[in-house]
A and B are shown apart, each in its own frame.
Chain A
Amino acid sequence: MTLLLTSLLKFLIFLPLAGFVVSLLIPGKMENAISRVAIFTVGSHLVISLVFLVFWFFNSYPTFETRELILYDTERYKFFISFYLDKITAVYLIVGSFLTFLVTIYCSYYMHRESGYKRFFNTVLFFYVGYNIVIFSGNFETLFIGWEILGITSFLLIGFYRDRFLPVKNALKVFTVFRVADMALILAIWMSHHLWHENITFSKLGDSRAVIEHLQDYPVLGILISLMIVTAAAAKSAQLPFSSWMPRAMEGPTPSSAIFYGSLSVHLGVFLLLRTFPFWEHQTLIVILVFLIGLSTSIIATAISRVQSSVKAQIAYSSVAQIGIIFIEVALGFYDLALIHFAGNAFLRTYQLLVSPSIVSYLIREQFYNFVPRRYIERHATLKKIEYSIYLLSLKEFHLDSCIYVFLWNPIKWFGRKLNFLSGKVGFIFIIVTFFIGVILLYNKQSIPQGIREYLPTIFAFIGLVMVIKSFTERKDIKLSWLLVIMYHIWIASAVSFYENVTMLEIIIYLSGVLVSGIVGYVCLHKLRILEHTIDWNDFQGHVYEHPKLAFVFLLSCLGTMAFPITPSFLGVDLMFTHIETNQVGFALILALSFIVVGLSVVRMYSRVFLGPHIKTYHDIPGRNS
C-alpha cells in the first residue's frame, strides 16, 4: 500500500510539471488547446489527490517521506530532493488543487481573446508546479526550489499587463519583498547546515528530542534560524511590516489575484511556520514574536481594511488580518484550527474577489432601498482628534508602504550613489583591473600569509557585492550593468576558492549556469542595441511590444544569472554556502545580501528594457496612471 501511495505521490509532483512543459509547446493562437491542457493537468491532479488522500486516510494517515534525487553526493555534503507528506501537506494539497482547478476552468472562459492567453496559463501552471514543490518538500532545499518558482511566477502574474506602468512597477515591488523572504530562507538554510551538519529533513525536525538536544548546544544559532524562518513567513504572508505588498499585487486579471494573493501564495508563510513548528515551539522568544506579529497585523490590517474604498484592497487587508489570527493560532499551537482557518479564509477570499466586480450593482441597489443619510455629530475634541488620527493613519496604511521603501531601497540606493564614480569607462576599467588583481591573488594564494588569507574571501565577496549594487543602481549603460552581474559571480566563485576543501567540480557547477546565461543575456542586449540603435533605460521602455521573443530569451538568461533552479548554478549557490563557516557571518551576510540584489538587478533590467508602456508612440499606449 505504501508503495502505491509513494508512486501516486511522485505522480502528484510530476504531473503539474509535465502539464507546464506541454503548455509551453502549444502555439499561442490555440486557446482551446492551451486551456484544455491546463484544465486536464489540474483536474487530474485534483482527482489523483482525492484518490490519494482517501487511501491515505484509510491507512490511518501516516506521515511519510521519500528521498528522490540525490543531486550531489560527497562525503562532506549531500544535496538531495526530498518529499514529505503529513496532515499539513494534505490540507494544503486539497485546498490548492481544488481552487486551482476551479480557477483554471474559470479562466479558460474569462481570459478568452486576451492577449497573453498562453502566457497566463503557462505562468499559472508554473506557479502550480512551485506550489506543489513547496507543500510536498521534505527539506529546506527542496522547499526553496518551489519558493523561488513562486517568487518569479508572482512577478510575472502581477505584471501580466506588461504594457502598463503600474502592474510592472508593483510586480517589481512585490518581487523585492519576496526577495527578502528568499534571503531569510537562504540564511536559515545555511545556518541549519551548521546546526545539524547535514541537509536536514522536515521529518527529523519533527523529532523534538533531537531538536532540543541540538538547540542546547547552539541556542543563539537556533534563535537566529527561527528568526529567519519567521521573517520569510511574515514577508510571504504579508504580515507586519510587509503587509502593504498585498493590495498592490492585485494588478493581474481578477481570478489570478483571487487565487494567488487571495488564497494560495499568501498562506505559504503560514505553511512555513506550521512546517517548522517543532523546531521553534520550544523557543519562547520566537513563539512570543510570532504571536505578536500576528496580533499587531490583525489589528492594524483590520483598521486599514475598514477604511479602504476600493473593493480589492479591502478584501486584501481583511485577508491579511485573518492570516494574522492564523499566526496567533499557530503560535499557540492550535494546529488544526489554523488549518481549518486557512482553508476557510482561502475559499472565502477567492470567492469574494471573483465576485468583486458585482459589488457595484449589489451595493448600489442596497443603497437605493436602505440608504440612511449619515449624521455628523459633534463630539469631544480629544475623541474626535483620536478618531481623525487613526482614520488618516489607516488611510496611509500606517506608512507601511514607505517603510519598505525607506528600509530596503534607500540604503541600497545610497550605497549605489556612492559608487557613481564607477560609471562609464571607469566602470569597465574597474572590472578589468580588479579582475586581474583577483586572478593574481588567487594564483598565488599559497604565498599569502594566513592572517591575510583568512579575510580574503570576505573581501572578495565584498567586491562582488559592490559590483551588484553598482549594477543595481546603474542607470546609463545597461551592458555595464549586466557585465557587473557576471563579474559578481566570478568574484564569489574566487572567494570560495580560497577554501581548501573546495573542488573544481563545485566551482564549475556554480559558474556553468550563470556564465552561459550571462553570455546569452549579453547577446540579447547586443542584438537589441543593434535593432534599436540605443537602449535608454532610465524609464520603462516596453520593447516587448516589438521584440517578444528576444524578451523571452532575455528573461530566461536573467533567471539563469540569478541562479534560479533552471541551471546547475542553483545547486552551486547552495554548495558555496556550505563552505562558509559559522564564524564568517560577514561573508554569509554579504553573500545572502548580494544574492537578493542580483535578483533585483536583473529583474529590474528586464522590466526596464522590455516591460512598461512602449516608448514608441505610433500606436495607442496606456498612460502612466493605469
Chain B
Amino acid sequence: MKAQNSSFDEHEVLHELKHFLPAQAPLKDFVHHNTLHAFQDLKFYAGARHAKKIFGYFVSLQLDEYRALCKSGRIRKDVLERIVSEKKGLEHVDGWMENILSKKYDTSIPPRIGSLRSNWEKQYHIDLDLIVHPFLFRILCSYLDQGISVWSFPVGHKGFLSSLKEIEKDNYTSFFKTERAKKLLLKSKCRIEQLLKILVGDESLYQQYLYDQQFSHQGWSGMVSTIEDQPQTLLNQKEISLHDLVCFELLLEIDALDSQFGEDWLPIGSNLKNRPIELFGEVPETELDEVLSILHDAFEWSYYDQVLAAIQLQKQEKPAAAPGKSFQGIFCIDDRECSFRRYLEKVDPKCETFSMPGFFGVEFFFQPEHGKFYTKLCPVPITPRYLIKETDTKHKLQPEPLFSKLSHSLFQGWLITQTLGFLSALQLVLNIFRPAMMPVMASSSAHMDKASHLTIENKNPDHKENDLQIGFTVEEMAQRVEGTLNSIGLVKDFASIVYVVGHGASSVNNPHYSAYDCGACAGRPGSVNARVLCFMANHPQVRAILGSNGIIIPAGTQFVGALHDTTRDDITYFDEDALSSVNSVIHEKNVSVFAEALDFNAKERSRRLVSINTKLSAKEIHEEVRRRSVSLFEPRPELNHATNAICIIGRRSLSKGLFLDRRAFMNSYDYSIDPEGKYLFNVMRPIAPVLGGINLEYFFSRVDKHKLGAGTKLPYNVMGLIGVANGTDGDLRPGLPSQMIEVHDPVRLLVIVEHFPEVVLGSINQQPATYEFFINEWVRIVAVHPETREFFLFKDGNFLPYKPLPQSIGSVSDITALLESAKTTVTTDIVEATQENLPVYWIN
C-alpha cells in the first residue's frame, strides 16, 4: 500500500490500479485465483480488513451468522475459548466471550471507494453512471466481442482509442452529444491528466477519482486490464488498455456534463463540501474486527481440529502387504477425486491409488487437428516449450442450426422462424423430457478425439513450430516420468497396469464451464496429459533410462491413460488396443471395478444434488447424474470444488482410514524416499497458488455474493463470449456464481504435510510469491511428524507444536447408510447449509 502524494503520475496510478482490479480472464480461460490478491502482502485479517473498508467488500460471514453458528454448535465452544485465551490472555476470556457472543456492534460498512464521485449526485444532481455506463459497456463489449455480433466492430486492428477516433472522424453521427468531447477526442492528444483537469480540477484528487471511476464497474475494468496484459487470451485478439478505457470514459463523462449544464460547470474538486477520506489511508483495527477474526478462526478450527485429531488418533495401519497389487491408479489432486479413490480401494482392496496435480508433470501446448490455435495444458504460470499435435481424428464438429446467426437476419429469419421454429418446439420437448447430449454443450470428450494419434515423441529437436518443439525427446520424457514417479512415491512394486486418470467435466448452459475442468491443465480436461505421460512411461528407451536411475518398471507393466468425467462419473480409457493380451484380460476386470466405484461415487455426490433421491440404488442414481449433466434446466450439473477445506500431502496411510466427505485435496508423497525434501519443493510449488487460489475464490465468492461473487447465474446474459452480466445493461460479473458456492463453508485451506517441520519449511520459503500465502496466513499449513504424528502449525515463520483438543471421533463401517441418512439443507443460510457437511469419521 502506498501513501498518496499530491503530484499525479498517470503511469504509476494506472499500474497500481490494475493491481487492485479483478484479474479474471475471459470465460474460456477461467482459472481460479485469490480474489483479493492485491492485499496478499498483508496478513490475512489485515488484508481482508483493508479490502472491506476501502472497497466495501464483505470478507467474512456476518456477526449474526457467526453467533448463530456458535449457538448451533458448529463453532465449538472449547475451540473458541482456546482461541480467545491464546489471543487475549486467559484472564480476559470472560470479558471477550461476552463481547463475542452478545455485545451490540454497528456492523455496517460504509466503503471509502466512490465517496469522491458520489458528489456528482449530491452537488450536481446528475447520475453520471446511469448515463455513461450502459453506452460505455456496449461499446467495450462490441469492440472486444469474440463472435456474438453478426456485424462486428468496423475498426478492430488499431487499438481501442484509435479505433474510436477513426469511427468518430468519418461519421454522420457521433459517440457524443456535445462538441467539446468530440473535439478533445479528435483534435487533442487526449491525455488523462488534461481530461481530469476539466472534470476534477484538483490534482491531489486525480488518483482517487480514477479509483472511484474504475471501481464503479470493476468487472469491465478488470477484463480490460487482463486483456491488456494477456492479449493472447482472446482468440480474436484485440488491442486495448486501461488507459484507453479511462480516456474514453472521461470523455463520455465530460460529454454528459456538457449536455446537461453547457460547458461552464465547475470541476468536482472545486465544489467539495468536505474532502473525502484518503482511499488508502490507515485502516485501524476495531474491536469488532477482532471479534470477527476470533469468531472466524474458531469457525475454521472447529473443523481443522477435528481433522487433525482424526489423523493423529486413528489406528496405525499395518504396512500394506507388498506384492500382489491388482492395479495402480494416478489421479488428480482435485478434491472431487478423493471419494472416487476411496471407492476404488473399497471395491478392490488390492488396488493402490496415488494423486498429483492433473497435468501429471508434463507441460505442453496442444493443438487439436484442424484447430487454429494452441491450448496450454499445464498450470497457468508455466510457459511450456513443447507442442503436441493431434492427428487422425474421426469426429467432426456438429453444427447447431437453431443457433444459426441467419435467424437474426430479416428474410432468412422469416423463413427460419416458420420452419426451424417448429423444430425448436420439438427440440425443447425432447430437452425437457429426455435430455441428451447436444452440440451446444461443453463435453469433456470433445477436448481430444479418443481415436486420434498424438505426436509425442520428438526425434529431431529442430522440428519446431512457432518456436515450440514438437514433442519431447527421450531424455526429456525420462526426466518427466522420473520426476512424476518420485514425487508421488511410486518407485517400486509396480502393478501390471498403472492407470493415469485425468479429469474433465461436461455441462450445458454453463458459461463457467472451464472452471469445472482441471485447474492444473489451465482449465481444460486432463485427457491429453494422461495419454502423454502413459506414452512416455511405456516407451522402452525411457524405461531403460529410468532403470539406470533406480526406478525399475517391470516389462509386463503398462500405463493406461484415462479421463474421468467428474460431472457424469464416466471414465474413458485411451489406447486400450496397445495392451498386451495378458493385460487386456486384467484390464477388463479392472474396468468393472472402476464402473462399480463410479456408481458409488455418483451416489455419494447425489446427496448434495437435491433433485435426486439418495436412497435409490447406485446404478439408478448414476443414470440420474448422467441425465443431469445434459439437462438444460440444471444450474448445478456438479458442485465442483464446493466445500473444499483441506489438502493432505503425504502417504495414503495418512488419510486412507478417514471419511473426509470430499473436502480434501490430496497429493501423494512419500517422505521416506525424499529425506531432504528435494521433490517436496516441487510438490509444494503449485499448492498455494493453485489450490489456495481455488479455495480463496470460493471463500470470497461465498462471503460476498454480490461484489466478489458473481451472484445467481439464472439471469446471466453472455457478453461478447468473454464474460457474463445480469441483463443487458450491467457490468461484467467476475467471481463465482452463487450456485457454485452456496453450500461452501468459507474456511481457508489447511495444508497438512507429512514430513519433518524443518524440511517442510525449507520447501515453502524459497519462492517469495508462494511463501506469501503461508507467512501471511492466506493458506494455513501444518507439518505432521512422519514418525510420531505430532503436529506443528506454521505461524510467523516457525512451525510450533499443536495439540488437538480432546474429542470423540465417530467411526463408520457403512458409508452408504451414513450418506442416505445425512441431512440435506433446504436454504442456503450458513447455519443450515453447513450442517450438510458431515463430520470426520474413521472408516472401519
Contact = CB atoms under 8 A, between A and B. Distances in A.
A608 B610 CA distance: 36
Interface in B708-724: 711-721
Interface in B803-837: 826-828
B417 A345 contact: yes
Contacts of A311: 148, 717-718
Contact of B149 (A314, A357, A364): A314
A318 B408 contact: yes
A364 B717 contact: no
Contact of A318 (B27, B407, B704, B716): B407
B407 A114 contact: no
Contacts of A366: 147, 397
Nearest to B507: A361
Nearest to B170: A385
B703 A624 contact: no
Contact of B109 (A112, A166, A344, A617): A617
Interface in B561-597: none
Interface residues on A, range: 35 or more
Interface stretch (B368-376, B496-504, B748-756): B368-376
B729 A107 contact: no
Nearest to A362: B440
Contacts of A359: 148, 403, 440, 718, 721
Which of A298, A313, A366 has the most chain B CB atoms inside 10 A of its CB? A313
Interface centre among A110, A302, A625 (most CB of B within 10 A): A625
Contacts of A251: 715, 726-727
Given A308-B148, A309-B141, A617-B108, A352 B407 contact: yes
B151 A307 contact: yes
B838 to A, nearest CB: 20
A309 B138 contact: yes
Contacts of B261: none
A623 B216 contact: yes
Interface string B282-318: 0000000000000000000000000000000000000
Contacts of A298: 410
A250 interface: yes
Contact of A110 (B633, B718, B726): B633
A441 interface: no
Contact of B108 (A341, A351, A616): A616
Interface stretch (B6-14, B223-231, B420-428): B420-428
A247 B610 contact: no
A501 interface: no
Given A310-B719, A314-B408, A348 B707 contact: no
Given A624-B129, A626-B733, A396 B135 contact: yes
A33 interface: no
Contact of B432 (A106, A307, A313, A620): A106
Contacts of A340: 418
Interface string B623-644: 0000000011111100000000
A302 B141 CA distance: 19
Interface in B364-421: 368, 370-373, 397, 400, 402-403, 407-410, 413-414, 416-421
Interface SS majority for chain B = loop
Contacts, number: 325
A254 B724 CA distance: 13
A449 interface: no
B707 A312 contact: no
Given A161-B715, A391-B154, A351 B428 contact: yes
Contact of A376 (B144, B155, B408, B719): B155
Per DSSP, chain A at the interface is: helix
Interface stretch (A15-23, A367-375, A509-517): A367-375
B742 interface: yes
A221 interface: no
Contact of A392 (B171, B403, B828): B171
B139 interface: yes
B157 A166 contact: no
Interface string B135-166: 10011011011111111111111000000000
A138 to B, nearest CB: 29
Contacts of A315: 408
Interface in B145-199: 145-157, 167, 170-175
Contacts of A308: 148-149
B510 interface: yes
A322 interface: yes
A376 to B, nearest CB: 5
Interface in A274-315: 298-299, 302, 305-315
Given A114-B712, A299-B410, A368 B719 contact: no
B151 A391 contact: yes
Interface string A245-284: 0011011111101000000000000000000000000000
Interface of B: 27-28, 56, 58, 62, 107-111, 129, 133, 135, 138-139, 141-142, 144-157, 167, 170-175, 216-217, 219, 235-236, 368, 370-373, 397, 400, 402-403, 407-410, 413-414, 416-422, 424-425, 427-429, 432, 439-442, 446, 508-511, 513, 610-611, 631-636, 703-707, 711-721, 725-731, 733, 742, 826-828
10 smallest CB-CB distances across A and B, nearest first, come from A344-B421, A351-B424, A361-B442, A625-B731, A348-B421, A309-B145, A622-B706, A358-B440, A253-B714, A347-B425
Given A340-B418, A392-B174, 15 more contacts: A299-B410, A309-B719, A312-B728, A318-B408, A341-B414, A347-B424, A352-B402, A352-B407, A361-B440, A376-B155, A376-B157, A388-B167, A620-B707, A625-B129, A625-B731
Interface of A: 29, 31, 98, 102, 105-107, 109-114, 160-161, 164, 166-167, 170, 247-248, 250-255, 257, 298-299, 302, 305-318, 321-322, 325, 340-341, 343-348, 350-352, 354-371, 373-374, 376, 381, 384-389, 391-396, 616-626
